[in-house]
Amino acid sequence: MLDPLLFGEIDPPQRLLMGPGPVNAHPRVLRAMSADLLGQFDPEMTGYMNQVMALYRPVFGTTNRWTMLIDGTARAAIEAGLVSLLQPGDTALVVNFGRFGLLLQEILTRIGVSYETVDAPWGEVVPIEAIRAAALRTAPRVIATVHGDTSTTMAQPLDGIGAIAREVGALVYVDATATLGGMDIATDRWGVDVVTGGLQKCLGGPSGVGPITVSDRAADHIFSRRHDERGIRAAGAVDGPGARIASNYFDLAMIMDYWSEKRLNHHTEATSMLYGARECARIALGEGLPARYARHRAAGAAMSAGLRAMGLTLFGDDAHRMTNVTGVYIPAGIDGESVRTMMREAFEIEIGTAFGPLVGKVWRLGAMGYNAMKHKVLLTLAALEATLKAHGHVVPLGEAVPAALAAWEAAS
């Protein structure tokens, strides 16, 4: 048996992660995560929890009291939102335009919830009028959608979706994993009820907690399903009249009580991840959200312009492209995985492959969070140009970087 001591200390390569996520974490976030641990009910620790709640409200574009973290990856927050809002017998309406709309359907199926979909082809978004028509037809308990779907690089417009939900008596759930901290998330203006995110994309942190915000309207519904577990019930606790939430770990009623003055002992908080999430929000707010969104727009415009200057064709609808991830067709006759391998091995740069119907057809290049920087976009484009030339593809040499520079300046 191999002695594990022979594996040695972890020393990963200093790779530039320019795919659809994760991206390189900001050094300030990594430093924050190395701070000493605290007990979960230490006054210093609960003070940090309260700070996190305050810091993430503007990031989500909300004044919601219930703005906090779910321990687990961004998918944990997605599942917490859906399992706490919905129960068997309910109907949901899923806005479906990519892989992560399919993920919402997968989770709903596992919960035992019936759902209808309103669809767009990959590379397009769903018109708001189509969402309204589907909602009027299905009368759902919840309208669920992704904001930015990295599988298609499209961003779904959400202005008006809250009004549709009120018209049919629904709640709205939004997965903003890929856009939180990089595109405007307007929870209150949109009129949506639950929004979830992740750190590993535009917020420039590691995967491991999912920020979430919950409207008072949604909180009332969730608390109507409150059923505290027996081992932590307070004397005189009264359960809600609704059906118990099907997951213990993802039970938002108990998690919200954990983050409240009650400090219900639901789980042991992921202290180091909370430190990291706190620093992600501090960095974003310190930069200023409008300036941060502008930086992501400039990075996306520069990436798109540089790719086009190489003679490549972008995937999807320009009018609804995410600012932080760009899809581009792999040129005919080029082995996409061989290009990705050379980018990684020769230049220490990672770009992304694709899912589903786009496998082998599209690369996805990200520029977000700590990597939405001019020089990182330019390095990626220059490396891709050299790699394509090495693979025998005819590229207009020297055109990508000047085009990207001009686009960056025009968008800034």
Cβ of 166: how many Cβ atoms within 10 Å? 12
Give the mean pLDDT of 17-46.
97
pLDDT, position 2? 64
Residues 397, 273 share a domain: no
Q: Is the pLDDT of residue 412 over 70?
A: yes
Residue finishing a domain among 221, 251, 284: 284
Identify residue 223 by its one-letter amino acid code: F
Q: Which amino acid is at 27?
A: P
Query: For the ranges 233-237, 323-327, 335-339, which has the lowest average pLDDT?
Result: 233-237
What does the pLDDT read at residue 165?
Answer: 98
Mean pLDDT for the stretch of residues 290-306: 98
Q: Please tell me what DSSP assigns to residue 84.
A: H
Domain match, 328 and 188 both: no
Query: For residue 33, what are the domain limits?
Result: 27-284
Q: What is the CA radius of gyration of the chain?
A: 22
368 and 391 inside one domain: yes
In the chain, pLDDT over 70 holds for what percent of residues?
Answer: 99
Q: Tell me the pLDDT tens digit for each residue of 187-209.
A: 999 999 999 999 999 999 999 99
- pLDDT score, position 5: 73
Average pLDDT, integer, range 9-20? 94
Question: The domain spanning residue 402 has which CATH number?
Answer: 3.90.1150.10
The count of other CB atoms within 10 Å of the CB of residue 65 is 16
pLDDT tens digits along 157-195: 999 999 999 999 999 999 999 999 999 999 999 999 999
Q: Classify residue 17: in a domain, yes or no.
A: no
Question: What pLDDT score was predicted for residue 4?
Answer: 67
228, 295: one domain: no
Contact 20, 207 (CB under 8 A): no
| 19-23, 230-234, 341-345: least confident range | 230-234
Which residue bears the tokens 């969070």? Answer: 369
Residue of 286, 306, 320, 375 whose CA lies nearest to 126:
320
Which of 268, 267, 221 has its CA nearest to residue 245?
221
pLDDT tens for residues 63-84?
999 999 999 999 999 999 999 9
For residues 82 and 192, membership in a common domain is answered with yes
Distance CA 80, CA 360 (A): 33
Contacts of 374 (CB under 8 A, 6+ apart): 298, 299, 302, 405, 408
What's the CATH code of the domain at 210?
Answer: 3.40.640.10
Give the number of other CB atoms < 10 A from CB of residue 360. 11
For residue 11, tell me if it sits in a domain.
Answer: no
Model confidence over 242-285: pLDDT tens digits? 999 999 999 999 999 999 999 999 999 999 999 999 999 999 99
Residue 1: predicted pLDDT = 59
How many Å apart are CA 105 and CA 108, to the nearest integer?
5
Residue 20 lies in a domain: no
* Shared-domain flag, residues 368 and 405: yes
Distance CA 340, CA 254 (A): 44
- CA dist 395 → 210, 312, 378, 387, 390 (Å): 41, 9, 16, 10, 10
The residue among 264, 284, 304 that closes a domain is: 284
Cα 397 to Cα 386: distance, rounded to the nearest angstrom: 8
- Number of domains forming the structure of the chain: 2
277 and 312: one domain? no
Please indicate, yes or no, if residue 14 is contained in any of the structural domains.
Answer: no
pTM of the model: 0.96
Domain boundary among 265, 284, 303: 284
In a domain? residue 13: no
